[in-house]
Amino acid sequence: MALPLRTNLKHFLCFIQRFNPLKRRFCAAVCPENKQPPGSARVFSGIQPTGVPHLGNYLGALENWVALQNQYPSVLYSIVDLHSITQAQHPDQLRNNILDMAASLLACGINPEKAILFQQSQVSEHAELCWILGCLTSMPRLRHLPQWKMKSKEKNEGSVGLYTYPVLQAADILLYKSTHVPVGEDQVQHLELAQDLARIFNNRYGELFPEPRALLSSTRKVKSLRNPVTKMSKSDPQTMATISLTDSPDDVALKIRRAVTDFTSEVTFDPETRPGVSNLVTIHAAVAKLSVEEALSQAGGMDTGAYKGLVSEAVIQRLTPIREEIQRLRADRAHLEGLLAQGKHRARELAAPVLAEVRHRVGFH
């Protein structure tokens, strides 16, 4: 009996991903293997220690991280400080940022009993595997990745660390034999490098690494409050553009009140022609756990000025307990350092045997 058309399509996309990397994102979204995490599934993701995250980080990634720790049997979240030094960092500021990020992740709901939370540089296996994988990676393969193209243009001349950044990302993922990686669409090509390197290593030295799959987030990206066609970013020079998780209620209200909209007073959702007000609807829907349609229904009869007040209330209500918990955790550095030390030991228990096997297969011992 013939299989239904949709079933055939799913398997066809899974088959052609081997030959065309551009199809992988579609396969990751529809392949039946992704619908239920198998018992051996492992999730890995990392975040740079840039201090306290902003609202876009929380809604776009961290909220999903909290959900994943309850859905998968093995989850690792890393504060990727090795990645962060591709840009100049003041040592004292970096130390503080690492602890601030740990406090923020815990306050957002990451549970160290359900997920391994650790500092990347404290697990030296990451750097060693990066070197080994780098020796399997061609220069042209890295040259065409979006991170290098974008960042090297900004700096006129990028560092070797920036150039090999995606190889370290691949090492982060493969070191734990991760099967799933939550990514945004802008990171899919970097995940494809990890998939390629898993295949290259397996073909040369024997089967060892699973090919990690993308867990694409369905959350809409939160945009800048001052320039709503770009992503909300901590590095934005306009202080009114970004809401930090530790902003006071007054600061949140002020930033939303000054958010760029347009000259039409009605609240509608049309990201192409009305990006400013649409960004407010996206934020409102996400923090209040509503659909866009439900958010618009609550805005019925309001002009954009009044709607900004409603959005402010929703954001403040959502962020207040997180802000208070970050402040509480920040005050106890020893507790944060202890949790990261525990995470380091748990991560190394997984990483050390994998790297030992890699070293043996490569011929180091």
Tokens 């601030």 locate to 100
Q: For residue 32, what pLDDT band results from cuts at 50, 70 and 90? A: very low
One-letter amino acid at 121 equals S
pLDDT, tens digit, 9 for 90 and up, residues 16-28? 444 444 444 444 4
Contact 154/194 with Cβ under 8 angstroms?
no
Instruction: Delimit the domains of the chain by residue range.
Output: 42-220+333-362, 239-330
Cβ-contact 108, 58 below 8 angstroms: yes
Mean pLDDT calculated for residue range 205-215: 97
Between 15-24, 55-64, 224-233, the lowest mean confidence (pLDDT) is in 15-24
Which residue among the candidates 23, 114, 221, 231 is catalytic per the annotation?
A: 231
Residue 234 annotated among the catalytic residues of the structure? yes
25: Cα within 13 Å, side-chain hemisphere = 14
Instruction: List all residues 6 or more positions away from 335 whose beta carbon is below 8 Å from its beta carbon.
Output: 329
Which residue's structure tokens are 């190394």?
A: 348
Over pLDDT 70: what percentage of the chain? Answer: 86
Whether the Cβ atoms of residue 58 and residue 217 lie closer than 8 Å to each other? no
Q: How far apart are CA 337 and CA 347, in angstroms?
A: 15
Mean pLDDT of the chain: 89
Rounded Cα–Cα distance for residues 303 and 87 (Å): 43
Q: What was the pLDDT predicted at 20? A: 47
CB-count exposure of residue 255 (10 Å: 0-12, 13-18, 19+):
buried
| Contact by Cβ (8 Å): 80, 170 | no
CA dihedral 203, 30, 181, 56 (to 10 degrees): 150
How crowded is the C-beta side of 144, counted as CA atoms within 13 Å?
Answer: 7
Q: Find residue 79's DSSP bridge partners.
A: 47, 119
CATH of domain 239-330: 1.10.240.10
Say which of 23, 114, 221, 234 is annotated catalytic.
Answer: 234
Please say whether the beta carbons of 63 and 219 come within 8 A.
yes
Q: How far apart are CA 211 and CA 34, in angstroms?
A: 13
Q: Which helix (H) or strand (E) holds 274?
A: none
Contact between residue 309 and residue 258 where contact means Cβ atoms under 8 Å apart? no
- Among the listed residues 151, 177, 221, 255, the single catalytic one is 151
Average pLDDT over residues 99-104: 98
Residue 344 a catalytic site member: no
- List Cα–Cα distances, 126 to 174, 176, 184, 202, in angstroms: 9, 10, 22, 18
Read out DSSP for 92-149?
A: HHHHHHHHHHHHHHHHHT--TTTSEEEEGGG-THHHHHHHHHHTTS-HHHHHTSHHHH
Question: What totals of helices (H) and strands (E) does the chain contain, helices first?
Answer: 16, 5
Q: Is 307 exposed, middle or buried (0-12, 13-18, 19+ CB in 10 A)?
A: buried
Q: Cβ distance 303 to 65 under 8 Å?
A: no
CATH homologous superfamily for 42-220+333-362? HUPs (3.40.50.620)
Q: For the full predicted model, state whether its pTM sits above 0.75.
A: yes
Q: Is residue 266 within 8 Å of residue 300, measured between CB atoms?
A: no
Distance of alpha carbon 55 from the chain centroid: 13
Interatomic CA distance for residues 34 and 77, integer angstroms = 20
Active site residue 231: yes
Amino acid at position 24, single letter: R
Dmax over CA atoms of the chain, in Å, equals 72
Q: What is the mean pLDDT of residues 220-245?
A: 94
pLDDT band at 37 (very low <50, low <70, confident <90, very high): low
Of 1-10, 219-228, 276-285, 302-311, which gets the smallest average pLDDT?
1-10
